[in-house]
């Protein structure tokens, strides 16, 4: 009887997990990436569910896959993909990096080989001219920004 109760608890736990995963998928999921910009060197994706308003600007998670290995800050390490959190100044057409993690494989595979974060007061801003990767990201994210 003890085994039967344990099995029942395990089945119920798995059913709850499956329901939670299904609900996450129905709500857009954490890993739903939309391709936004492609060049010969990279493809950039936005996680639409991550787009939100922060301190009067728009923030979103971005995944970038690179065609060739990129040199990491650590000696003899390279990466093929990054996951970043960017802050977008839609009116000023600028992009600031809040967080970056670089991965040795495409599509964020492997253990991060490089990490960086920036506080609001120390954020470095880059211009986002039209027809550039930053420009395409900014246009997409700002078009999806929550009202207010």
Q: Which of 148, 138, 144 is nearest to 48 (CA)?
A: 144
The reported pLDDT for the residue numbered 31 is: 67
The reported pLDDT for the residue numbered 146 is: 86
For the chain, what percent of residues have pLDDT higher than 90?
72
Name the pTM for this structure.
0.77
Domain extents for the chain?
A: 1-28, 33-144
Q: What CA–CA distances, in Å, run from 141 to 13, 32, 80, 138?
A: 37, 14, 23, 5
Q: Which CATH superfamily groups domain 33-144?
A: Surface-adhesin protein E (2.40.128.710)
- The model's pLDDT over 43-82, given as tens digits with 9 standing for 90+, comes to 999 999 999 999 889 999 999 999 999 999 988 999 999 9
The reported pLDDT for the residue numbered 30 is: 55
């Amino acid at each position: 009887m003890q085994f039967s109760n344990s099995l029942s608890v395990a089945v119920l736990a798995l059913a709850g997990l499956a329901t939670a995963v299904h609900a996450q998928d129905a709500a857009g999921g954490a890993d739903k990436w939309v391709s936004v910009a492609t060049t010969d060197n990279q493809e950039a994706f936005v996680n639409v569910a991550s787009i939100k308003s922060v301190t009067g600007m728009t923030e979103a998670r971005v995944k970038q896959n690179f065609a060739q290995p990129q040199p990491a800050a650590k000696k003899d390490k390279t990466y093929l993909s990054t996951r970043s959190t960017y802050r977008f100044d839609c009116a000023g057409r600028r992009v600031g990096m809040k967080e970056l993690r670089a991965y040795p494989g495409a599509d964020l595979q492997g253990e991060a080989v490089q990490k960086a974060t920036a506080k609001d007061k120390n954020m470095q801003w880059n211009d986002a001219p039209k027809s550039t990767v930053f420009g395409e990201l900014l246009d997409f994210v700002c078009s999806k920004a929550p009202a207010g």
